[in-house]
Amino acid sequence: MEPGLYHILVISAALFFIGVFGFFTRRNLITMLMSVELVLNSVNLNFIAFNKYLWPHKLDGLFFSIFVIAIAAAEAAVAIAIIINLYRSHQSIDVENAEEMKF
C-alpha cells in the first residue's frame, strides 16, 4: 500500500508524543527546549501533509509551516539567551535549582 496522508499523520502524532514525553521527563532546560523543537516539527509535518493531500489547490499549509519555522527560530534564540543568563546567576540549568525566579 502506497503511503499517504494517514501514514504521515501517524508519524507526526508519534513524534508529537515523543516530544511531550521528553518534556515531562527531562529536568534540564536545554533538553526540554529540544523536546519542544520535536513537537513544533511534528506540527509542521501535519500542516504540509494536509496541504499536499487535502488542499492541493492552495498553499496555506505551506505558509503556516514556514511561519511556524520562523517563530520557532526566534523562540529558540530567546530561550537560549535566557538559559545562558540563568546559568550565569545560578551556575546550573536544572529546573529544580531555578525555583526562585528573581534576583
What minimum distance in Å lies between the beta carbon of 77 and other proteins?
Answer: 5
String marking each residue 73-102 x if it binds other proteins according to CB under 8 A: xxxxxx-xxxxxx-xx----x---------
Size of site (CB under 8 A) for other proteins: 71
What minimum distance in Å lies between the beta carbon of 100 and other proteins?
Answer: 18
Nearer to other proteins, 91 or 100 (CB): 91
Quote the CA–CA distance of 30 and 19 in Å, as a whole number: 13
Residues 48, 9 contacting (CB under 8 angstroms):
no
DSSP string, 11-71: HHHHHHHHHHHHHHH--BHHHHHHHHHHHHHHHHHHHHHHHHHT-TT--HHHHHHHHHHHH
String marking each residue 30-49 x if it binds other proteins according to CB under 8 A: xx-xxx-xx--x--xx--xx
